[in-house]
Every structure is written in structure tokens, then in C-alpha cells.
Amino acid sequence: MTDSTPTPLANAPLAFDLLLRDAIFLTADPEQAECRGWCLGISDGCITWFDREPPVHYTARRELRLPGHFVTPGFVNPHVHSILSMVRGVAVDLGFAPSYTPGIPKGTEVNPEQARALARLGALEAMLFGSTLVGDNFVHADTSTEAMLELGLRLAPSWRIHDVDFARVAHGEWNYDSAIGERTLGAGLALYERWKDHQRVYVNLAAHAADTCSNGFLATIAQEAQKRDLVVSTHLGQSQVEVERVRERTGKTSVQVLEEAGLLNHRLMGGHCIYLTPDDLSRMARAGAHAVHIPKCNITSGRMANTPAILRAGVNMALATDTQHGDMVELMRWALNTARVQEGGVSDEFQPRHVFHMATMGGAKALGLEHLIGSIEVGKRADLVLFDANRPHLVPHVNPLGNLVHTGQGRDVSMVIVDGEIVVEQGRPAKVDMEQVCAEAEAACRQLWGAHGKQYWQPH
Ligand SMILES: [Zn+2]
């Protein structure tokens, strides 16, 4: 057979499950960042065609003409605690992370049924606003993983692993108990065993923080992660409390403690990264560790990570919504504008493309999934978000990415696709009943707050 002899299949039509046409694609691929009016074909959950025109011969089960729409990669939101939607509207005004705050419901009080309801609420909100991957971490991770999968999301779940007695932390006591460590790490590893073969689930080990895990326990987590090549997620430089507790216990910084434990490497995702020294940042960069920037949570409690310093140290940055509401579009704006406050003006290092990268490829890299997701490229999984950009605040389309980052919002999302499956259509979930999700979460919150004797919050 010579090159000029057509194979029997050469003229056979390409078969797509879904074909998207006439949209403006914002790809997060620096080689071709913006592709106007291109055509994207999906087969078997994968992007199999991306070009100016469709193939000459093709079939498509569904073909969408999308003039005036922006299509982006799905947002990768790697640090979320969906269950903490239970303290929405309250915890944010009490000064610090919910797990450390007295007088409000705690993870230790949540039963599996409540966890299911709350996880679905938090994850649904993130998905409706364009997160296609949610890295959820908390107690009852097994139940909440099942619950969130019902929505159609890609997940990077983890159990909250610690050996401190969390019930006492809110009262200022850090007591380490090996039985708690064994139980939480065991639960984290069981979660991995249960889901390791699922196509949309990538379990990681969440060592809660350097102050809530003792040194020996951190080393054990490092060994278990290395054996299985698992990502380890942690809260890193989240608070002065963490910094002081770790220094009291070890005389070192959290980054140094993680390094000694064998956790500082390319598999580590550090959430927050507020209280880090220049030396900490160099250590993270050398090790290839990743920073998860959580601007909205940090700033609403009056703190900011030094993102220009993190960027210049050469540390990969992801973006995450954490316990705040799950809008990654709004979050890009927070990340961009706070960096500009820190820089004292507009610079070439903080432009819309940089925060868009954090929200997509940055998160994919942090999870070791950059070969699968994070950008629009042939061969990657079809995780995509469609924005209806015909709305007045997104017109004119002179610079679509500038529009999206500066004036867009999660509520502009019209469709979300995960693994080629439409999971949000016309702004509503395709696989679950939205009103039911909200009602069940409301009921769970009434029970949890009721146990604290205050069904409704009354600020004093
Ligand atoms: Zn967190």
C-alpha cells in the first residue's frame, strides 16, 4: 500500500457525539489562545476535532451553533470544602476558618446524611458556575464523593487527615492522638482504594495542616502517598495560629516541617500560602510544589497571599474557592486585582491570561492531570464551559478573555460539559433536581444549627 492509496476508512465520516460550532474558544493553550468561529468535536468523552472547519465528512448526534458564545476549558477548583456551605453567611464574619471557630457547627457533628446534602449543595453551586473538577476535602468524604458524582462532576476528593483532636482546637488546645491519626489516614486510604479505578475520581491525601498533624504523622502520610504516587493537599501558611503552633512545637516553619517529613515535592498542593517566608517559597519552587491561591476566602478574613512573590519564586499557582461561594470567574477577578494592589499598578505579569491559566492549567498541573484536562486541545478529555456572551455586560467581543475576567460571572455559564457529557444546560443541572438539592441542604443546616440552639444566626 502506498501513501496515495486511500485506506478503506479514509472517506468514512467522523462520528461525533457532540459538535460545537461558531463559538469563540478561549483555550488556555498559549500556542493558540483564542480561536474565533472554530469547530470542536467530541467523541467518547474526548476532544477529537478542533479546527477552523468541521471535517468534510462527519456525523454528529448533536450539533450546536453558538454564535456569541465563549467556550473555555472547565475550571479546576482543587481546594473546596463543600460541606462547609453549612456555615455560609456566618463563618466569614467571625474572623477565621470554620474548623477553628467556636460556637458554630463543626465537621465532627455532621452525620453522613447531612454530609450528602451539604456536599451536593456546595458542589452543585461550583458546577453551575463552571467548575468541572472539584477537589473536595472534609469528613464523610466517601458519602460526599458519591453525592457529588451524581451531579456529573470530575472529582479530586480527600478525607480530612489529622491526628489533632479537632473538637478541642476551637478551644485553643492542640492534643495529638495517634488513634485519631490512624482513623483519618485509614479513611483517606480506603477512599483511594474504593475509587482508584473510577474515570472521574482522583483521590488525594489531605494532611490538614502542619499544626493539626504531628511530625511523625506527617512522615507516615508522606510514605503512604509515595507508595501510591498520590497528591497530598494541605493548608499551608493559612494562619498566624498555624505558624505560631508549628514554631512552638518544632522551632521551624510549616514548609520546613513538611520538607523534613518528606512531603515537599511535586505532589504537594499547599492551600492559602499567606504566611510564607521568601525561604519557604524558594524551597517550594525547588521541590516543584504547588500553591493553591484562595483570594476570596483570605481577603474576606483580612489577609492576602503575596502572589507576586509566589509567582516570581517560580511556584505553580492554582485557584480555588474553598469555603466561599464557588464562582471561579469572579475568583479570577479577585486574584488579578489583589495582585495589582500588591504591585501598585497594572503589570505584564498580572493580566487576564495569567489568572485564567491559574483557574485552568494551574489547577490541572497541581493535581498532576495536565495531560488530561485544563486546556482545549485535541486528545484531552472534553471538560468545557459555555458562556452566553450575548448579554450586554460581555459585549463587544473585542477581547473576550478581558471581558470574561473583568465583567463575567459564574451566572453567565449556560452549559457545562464533563467527559463529553452535558451536566449543565441552560444554566440548570442536567442530572439532579436543583430545588431538591437546595431543600435537602436547608433541612440539614436547620438540624446542625438547631443542635447549637440557634436555628438562625443572630449577631450580637
Ligand atoms: Zn481549606
Convert the pLDDT of each residue in 137-170 to its tens digit: 988 999 999 999 999 999 999 999 999 998 788 7
Q: What b/e string do you get for 352-385 counting C-beta neighbours within 10 Å, with b at 16 or more? A: bbbbbbbbbbbbbbbbbbbebbbbbeeebbbbbb
| Separation between Cα atoms, residue 212 and residue 165, nearest integer Å | 8
pLDDT confidence band for 89 (50 / 70 / 90): confident
Tell me if 213 sits within 8 A of 165, measured CB to CB: no
Q: Burial, 326: exposed, middle or buried (Cβ in 10 Å; 0-12, 13-18, 19+)?
A: buried
Domain boundaries, the chain: 14-72+377-429, 75-366
Using alpha carbons, select from 64, 63, 56 the residue that is nearest to residue 16: 63
Residue 121 — φ and ψ, nearest 5°?
Answer: -65, -50
Q: Calculate how far, in angstroms, residue 159's C-alpha sits from the geometric centre of ligand 1.
A: 12
**pLDDT of 7 higher than 70:** no
Q: Calculate how far, in angstroms, residue 174's C-alpha sits from the geometric centre of ligand 1.
A: 18
Using alpha carbons, select from 204, 207, 196, 198 the residue that is nearest to residue 134: 204
Tell me if 293 sits within 8 A of 320, measured CB to CB: yes
Cell of 91: 463563618
pLDDT at 10: 60
Beta bridge partners of 71: 25, 386
**Lowest-confidence pick of 96-110, 199-213, 351-365, 366-380:** 96-110
Q: Calculate how far, in angstroms, residue 80's C-alpha sits from the geometric centre of ligand 1.
A: 6
Q: Calculate how far, in angstroms, residue 435's C-alpha sits from the geometric centre of ligand 1.
A: 27
Q: Calculate how far, in angstroms, residue 81's C-alpha sits from the geometric centre of ligand 1.
A: 6
| Separation between Cα atoms, residue 161 and residue 256, nearest integer Å | 19
Tell me if 94 sits within 8 A of 235, measured CB to CB: no
Cell of 421: 457529557
Q: Calculate how far, in angstroms, residue 71's C-alpha sits from the geometric centre of ligand 1.
A: 29
Q: Calculate how far, in angstroms, residue 235's C-alpha sits from the geometric centre of ligand 1.
A: 6
Tell me if 207 sits within 8 A of 232, measured CB to CB: yes
Domain spanning 75-366: which CATH class is it, in words?
alpha beta
CATH number, span 14-72+377-429: 2.30.40.10
Q: Calculate how far, in angstroms, residue 157's C-alpha sits from the geometric centre of ligand 1.
A: 13
Q: Calculate how far, in angstroms, residue 279's C-alpha sits from the geometric centre of ligand 1.
A: 23
